[in-house]
A and B are shown apart, each in its own frame.
Chain A
């Protein structure tokens, strides 16, 4: 089934047409010039959250273009492509190749449109040095502090009030853009020796939604300014012949961020700084907040890859890679709050060092031995070793400042997380008649870590698979896998140090039994018809000793059925239906810290069942050369989900009895896309194209807060937060193209 937009398919059709044209020519005389001009106009109409219709595209009305040019001679190949030229999602690719040299160039702009409905009461950002400032009118803040203006609602009664910031908020499009430029050079010095170089520079600009809060009831959502660049360089030397291959590679990656600090005003407190004893400030605290944003970092990787072919259909391949990551960004002070800075009892807080001095080294080895000594039997043995060695010195954060307003001594030293993995895997394959292979395998993945609940963890995997391919009528693939994960060296203290319940186990390390099975069948009763069906199920059960809280189980079931009919090269159509089900159960306890009796009170326990079901439908119909001159393609896709969150347990019963618990409504998402593409060729090389896209998204999500009675219009001053109103909202979008087509 097709999964990409019709225009891409149309472009590929053009490309394949050129291949077909070329193939129709004399084999010994390659077509010297290929390609196409696809040029026309586009118009887009949207309602609702148009940013989500565009998402990674720029669909504004205007000129549309896609140019493809290829030249083939006896000595070189040249390919050039440009698409959506001049727009935020423009893309250019070029490649040149002769007998020994290949040079490629690419420039790909990828927008990421979050929302065009977002609003912010903040002015800015003003960039000074590496710091971005967001400000609110100081007079307004003072009047909010003095309770002349209404700031943020903190209870149901307050929801009827209109915050001053709602009036001050201005709409702005929240989007970012990633520009990726790549140059690659590969040179075959001899038949056996090759060199390659690659340079990629990625620039990210714009804004992304970000949190920036002063406490539990004083949350702020910000447009975090992006001005980042990553430069990646790699160089490789490769030697290969019929017996094997060896490659030495060096990679360097440098990330730079022009904005490493953000400072923003407190919406509910004026110009003077104060401290507060907890995080529930709505009328006290810091006047500004200061946050550290991602610092510059760099990474170097040296690797050696090898492959050696031996008798008896045997190969051994492997890699050793050494990685060095480092970051030495300047540390911002503990706080910007002058009430703390000027209090000799609280400041200066102890700063171990002024820069991060963070460094991680990675040692990675993988070796694979694959052999088929006899036609009936083969085996594969794999071994991987990964060591993530965090060498960052500990930093003393015993004293710290929460939300720039709560000074306390409840912090601790920074924790460096080291992980060493040993992974072994062995598979024995029996090749049966009719291209059927039965495999059994065993593997383990053993991890030794620091700073986690379990210092050791091992997954033992037992699996079997049966694959029948190459049969004229049926392809069958089945697999079963049973994985037992067992932790060792459990430290209850490490859980309790983080404030966790002793019965808590983190689901990424907890003891777990996992069963997974999958089945895929493709039946071709006659050459023109293909029927496919797939089923997969997985069940994760967390049941280690002492495991009481956290994720308890997670099950997935997916299946799909469909068919494709392709009576000849001119007509094809197909339909598929799929359903995905996900169920999980987690357990928690709503408690205050010990020695409060609620800490050990089982009547405070609650459960959450999260059940999600997604239905998927695909349909396509392609008709080529209708009337000898027209290609017609239709495509429809539906993804329809229903996600339920069901709380239960003794704590829920108690809250419901006093009227303080209410079930959450289901979250539903329904996305549909229809596309139609018609191309009429009035000559063998020239034609006209009409394309139509239609998308509709319906969503009902409790995380989206709109103004009462105004669905689709964000409310930025809801409970305890001055937000931008960024959340999922429905949209309807349609785009039409009219294009002139010319094939070289």
Chain B
């Protein structure tokens, strides 16, 4: 424990700064934010209006004209058949102000002869403004951490992927499937599902959101489960969760050191082929750094370290072993 400085004692600020670690930039950022907030008047979120229950609210003095009025001109912009139209849920647009729940009161727009400047149009908004509109309701469960998430930061908004009026897939996606949608930007990732070893994505048994929460996450890489890569993977592969008596150090840190979960032409979706993947770390003596080439494959019993399961024909328990003789993950 560092002794408390005596009165008048000079403090080594360099040491103090190192000790404070992340507190310094955090404090700086907070100061910046407080200064910024203090100079900007409070704004209301572009939230939906006060809630009513039951059917769509009729025109009121508050500037709402009612849904029927909207549909007289915008009959192609209906949302029936979607979750927004379920009036029994008091939070849906159907149960509140219909079209005007999202687009805002339409009286000025109507009286202006359809003046586009007098109505909110998420399509014409910046992605962040549009998202702020959506998250005024969609701020729970999987959407709670949207603000500041990776997609939010890169100008991807709710309306980049979802369509309220013309969805093609589930969850009102703009495409029929998630991989198709995600592949719009992440083509090099979705291409990996076509490799020999892959998750059951191209077979339709899993999809991108099986592992990722694209709306924000407390984990890295927008992973849905847990707070580390390992916790995410072992949420399905629980047998590898352990903890084990004997552990393999990289396994305890991150599965993706060795595996590419998006797909690979290497067995078990490894990032490189065995035994060469193992040889990236195991530069020891005797058999680990042996040159495993075509000569050995054809001439030596060491060939069993090149074909088939390679290193893991012996070290099969490298995710962890519960045997007292499990040091090298052989038992």
Contact = CB atoms under 8 A, between A and B. Distances in A.
A135 interface: no
Contacts of A82: none
Interface residues of A, number: 237
A379 to B, nearest CB: 7
A719 B308 contact: no
Interface string A2-44: 1111001100110110110111010100110010000000000
Contacts of A289: 331
10 contacts: A1-B180, A3-B194, A23-B80, A356-B322, A364-B218, A368-B145, A369-B148, A498-B284, A586-B276, A667-B273
Given A506-B281, A507-B280, A313 B33 contact: no
Contacts of B193: 3
A305 B215 CA distance: 15
Contacts of A378: 128
A356 B326 CA distance: 12
B226 to A, nearest CB: 8
Sorted nearest first, the 6 A-B pairs with minimum C-beta distance are A370-B148, A22-B81, A720-B301, A311-B42, A211-B316, A56-B200
Interface-centre pick from A23, A522, A645 (highest chain B CB count, 10 A): A23
Contact of A311 (B40, B71, B280): B40
B85 interface: yes
B325 interface: yes
B37 A240 contact: no
A1 B180 CA distance: 6
A211 B310 CA distance: 9
Main secondary structure on chain A at its contact with chain B? strand
B191 interface: yes
B36 A238 contact: no
B183 interface: yes
A289 B313 CA distance: 14
Contacts of B184: 522, 532
Given A321-B227, A504-B281, A720-B304, A31 B200 contact: no
Given A12-B176, A435-B126, A325 B243 contact: yes
Contact of A380 (B91, B153, B157, B324): B153
Interface string B295-331: 1011111111111111011111100011111111011
Contact of B301 (A216, A422, A452): A216
A384 B218 contact: yes
Contact of B299 (A112, A156, A372): A156
Interface of B (DSSP majority class): loop
Interface in B140-159: 140-141, 144-145, 147-148, 152-157
A429 B293 contact: no
Interface residues of B, number: 150
Contact of A641 (B140, B235, B265): B265
A669 B144 contact: no
B304 A255 contact: no
Interface string A388-422: 10101001010011111000000110111101001
Interface string B218-257: 1000000011100100011011111111110110111001
Contacts of A667: 265, 273
A412 B245 CA distance: 12
Contact of A586 (B80, B90, B280, B322): B280
Contacts of B289: 588-591
B3 interface: no
Given A9-B176, A578-B187, A500 B283 contact: yes
A373 B245 contact: no
Interface string B174-215: 001101100111011011011110001111110000000000
Given A349-B324, A439-B153, A294 B231 contact: no
Contacts of A400: 324-325, 327
A91 B204 CA distance: 11
A703 B310 contact: yes
B272 interface: yes
A148 interface: no
A549 B228 CA distance: 29
A720 B238 CA distance: 33
Given A334-B325, A506-B250, 19 more contacts: A3-B183, A16-B169, A19-B167, A23-B81, A76-B88, A228-B239, A292-B321, A397-B326, A401-B325, A469-B155, A470-B127, A477-B154, A498-B284, A534-B187, A550-B281, A647-B291, A703-B306, A721-B313, A726-B309
Contacts of A610: 272-273, 276
